């Protein structure tokens, strides 16, 4: 079993809305693919975003381009999980 290697958070001061900000924060997975990470668990506290990520076909959400990019990136991993984690 491999050990946990790192955590990452991105802080953005300005944004259009909460959903867009959450989606952009997930783009941090690009950093991990560039560093050679093979297994990734991406946890986020936005239930709407995790729901949207599971149904990309025919979706016209403002965050669809980001989610589609994430979907392309997750193919680079041997193991990828995108999970909702409550802050409470």
pLDDT for 5 equals 67
Domain count, the chain: 1
Q: Is residue 40 part of a domain?
A: yes
**Residue 48: domain span:** 18-84
Q: Is residue 30 part of a domain?
A: yes
Q: Is residue 54 part of a domain?
A: yes
pLDDT for 56 equals 78
Neighbours of 44 (CB within 10 A): 16
Please choose, from the candidates 81, 80, 54, 78, the residue with its C-alpha nearest in 3D space to the C-alpha of residue 68: 54
Q: State the DSSP string of 13-56.
A: S--S-HHHHHHHHHTTHHHHHHTT--EEEEEES-HHHHHHHT--
Residue partners of 27: CB distance under 8 A and separation at least 6:
66, 69, 70
Q: Is residue 55 part of a domain?
A: yes
Q: Is residue 60 part of a domain?
A: yes
Q: pLDDT of 34-73, one tens digit each?
A: 777 788 888 888 888 888 888 878 778 888 888 888 888 8
Q: pLDDT of 34-44, one tens digit each?
A: 777 788 888 88
Q: Is residue 8 part of a domain?
A: no
Q: Is residue 46 part of a domain?
A: yes
């Amino acid at each position: 079993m491999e050990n946990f290697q790192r955590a990452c958070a991105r802080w953005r001061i300005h944004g259009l809305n909460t959903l867009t900000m959450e989606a952009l924060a997930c783009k941090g997975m690009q950093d991990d693919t560039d560093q050679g990470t093979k297994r990734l668990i991406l946890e986020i506290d936005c239930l709407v975003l995790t729901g949207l990520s599971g149904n990309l076909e025919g979706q016209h959400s403002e965050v669809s381009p980001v989610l589609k990019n994430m979907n392309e990136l997750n193919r680079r991993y041997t193991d990828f999980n995108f999970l909702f984690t409550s802050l409470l």
